[in-house]
Chain A
Amino acid sequence: MRKALRRILPSQFERRLLLLAMAVLGGLAVLGGRLLVLGGWQREQALASAEAALVQVEYLPTMRGRILDRHGRVLAENSGCFDVAVRYSVIANTWPYEQARRQAMRENAGVWGELDYTAREALIEKYVPAYQQQVDQLWQILASVGEIDLAELERRRQTQISRVSQMANYVWEVRRRQRLLQAEGPVDLADVANPLAEHKALHPLLTRLTAEQRVVVERLLAEAAGAARATGSEVRQLSVWKEVALQRGVDRQYPCRTMRVMVDRSTWPTPLRSEAPVEREVRGVALQIIGALRDVQQEEMARRPFWPAGAKEPDLHGYRPGDLCGQWGLERGMEEELRGWRGKATYRLDTGQQEIQAAQPGKDVRSSIDVHLQARVQAMLDPELGLMRGQAWHFKGAEQGRWYGRPLRGAVVVLEVATGQVLAAVSQPAMTQEDLEQRPKWVWGDKVDWPYINRAYGRAYPPGSTIKPLVLAAAVTEDEFGPGQTVNCQGVFDPKHPNIWRCWIYKASNFTQTHGPLTGPEGIAQSCNVFFHTMGRRLGPKRLVTWYDRFGVGRLTALGLSELEQANGSLPDLRRADEPRAAGFSYSDAVFMAIGQGRVNWSPLQAASAYATIARGGLLIQPTFVVGGESAPSVDLHLDPRGVEMVLEGLRKSVEDRTGTTNHLTHLGNEPIFNITGVKVMAKSGTADPGRVWLDLDGDGQRSRQEIAYYGDHSWTVALVQRPGSKRPDYAVAVLVEFGGSGGGCAAPIANQVLHALRAEGYL
């Protein structure tokens, strides 16, 4: 080969030229090939990418929907306002250095290229103080305009800085992970840490300016702008104002958070009664139900990202960093409705064409809550007024000393029977806006008061006797009991074991009193334990638990709020009903559960719903906090009408008969509990033993003597009320007072006052 080449081209120089020429050809061929690949194969993608630069897209903000109460009163709405926003570099205080560097470069342009790092830094240092002074002055001015102290301004700056850094960390971490999937080696965070838009944006430091404040800020901005037009040294003195702007902000307003209510005490139990109404200011009205907003977190952005993985078009309903979303309550539960869709403005830079797709505002959500009723009930639950304070008639002798005068904790829920809508759900004690701001530790950390939990639907309690109507209705439907039949109460359920399963009446007067033979309505009215132990044994554990389950115990939650905020209650697992006793549950469980003790818990809302279901003749409608939209799902339980009749009759007798448990307050000269006139009231009290409640106050997982906090009974009353002319009860009211003692003594007078409140608001 080489020899042949030498023969053809005897000159070494020419052979070398040939070598070089081939190298040139090779090089040109590589370039030509590369151009062919680009122009021939990658064209479509490249053209699309190049044309994308002709299009500028801007996403327009949407407007969150309002939350209204059932009568259209505004509970939450967005209102426009003005904020003072400052560039991030100024907030993070990198601005003085950046400016100093620019000035240093400008004024030393000739020699800048020759200086080394330290010399440059030394030069920059000289210019920093002037800019730093401007920034410090800016903080002084903003603090005085906003009427806050510098520490508060500093706190707001730190909040913005930490918000942006958190966001950046999140975004960079996601990018890093994406790159890790592509790359083999480790990926340094520095490789992906490009500045975000937030690092260049303005962020609000003073929000909701008053008109006067706005005028002041506008004057300051105008002065700075005027100075910038002029020449000379003034320009530099005010240049930081170029990084300040008045921005339209959005402010979520909750107009009904604080309300004033006149509390009429003329129908209260005698010792608390007063003819003079008292005016109360109620704070944090329905705060737990309406909810609040917070910045989106990873969870929302993962659930519904603005840019879904691999998508070319953004999800205009999706979340971007810095968006707000509901934190709890209806704001959270109805997030999808309220949120709305962003708009999209597309500008063609080459043709000037515009295409603007307007933002779609979020829908208004109409809550089932009547905010006036809510406030009225909340006002009367104020412990200062006495209903929610330990009173002599709540307790028997030994417990009185412990509880007398103490504020009580509890909840009230009011349900419209026909629709399952919640009219009011009040918890005491509950957080207020001020608590959230001033003592968040109490709000989120107190394990006795649970200020952020609405006990009406957020906690479950043993039902006690309030569950008995469900048992009777089930027993009649299952043909285990019928009209005309009786159960004979001898004080104890099983004479062979006289120390367990006693009737409550058997304890009184030295274990002599008994109920004797009782019909169904009498069993309810007198709340005979032996009667219902008997029903429990007749139904047996499987059927009893099945019926509880059908009524929603252990699972039913209301629509409109996140299920995470609601208590399901508890029941033994039906799937384990046939297992041997140790694993499943037994007849003695059933006998016990039939009086609402043992392995059954429900929330006040579930209780009200169960009574409303009976009042509807067995139609279960899922309770709801919202009105409109899809109607709440309903299930017919096919209750025997005779059973329903028997229960309602029992509830009526409980109120109206002298022997009824919700008839009168024994300790107060037999004064009637329900003193509202002109309507039919049916009610059932419950006195439920929660056992010893352990509160792990120090969080160490160990029970100490101080943490076994309560001995005593929870006090229940569930009432149905029927207007004259109605065919069936119109409203269901459930009242629970934690450790309130006797159901008839403590909770029932509150239920009575809830009925008065319903009347005051025009429902009765």
Chain B
Amino acid sequence: MIEFHLVIALTLFVIGVLGFLTRRSGLTALMCLELMLNGVNLALVTFSRAHGNPDGSALVLFVILVAAAEAALALSILVALFRRTGSDVLDDFRELRG
């Protein structure tokens, strides 16, 4: 059971990584970031169950809280960028390019 859940967590993480690297829109890239965080959370809860140690679940709570704060900030940055340039495609944000 532990290995099964670890494989599911790995699958979620890998789907998140693939999506984050290949999606055009910034918003779907952020959604894939949330998928990655969920994969990590699942792995942590699985290990907490495997060892009987609540430290993993406590860390999961912190990850969920920080992910909420990060999602709020990343989305507001995306909205501000959209207002400025009119597009949400990540390839169009080139002002910082050397």
- Physical interaction between A and B: no
B-binding residues in A (CB < 8 A):
none
A-binding residues in B (CB < 8 A):
none
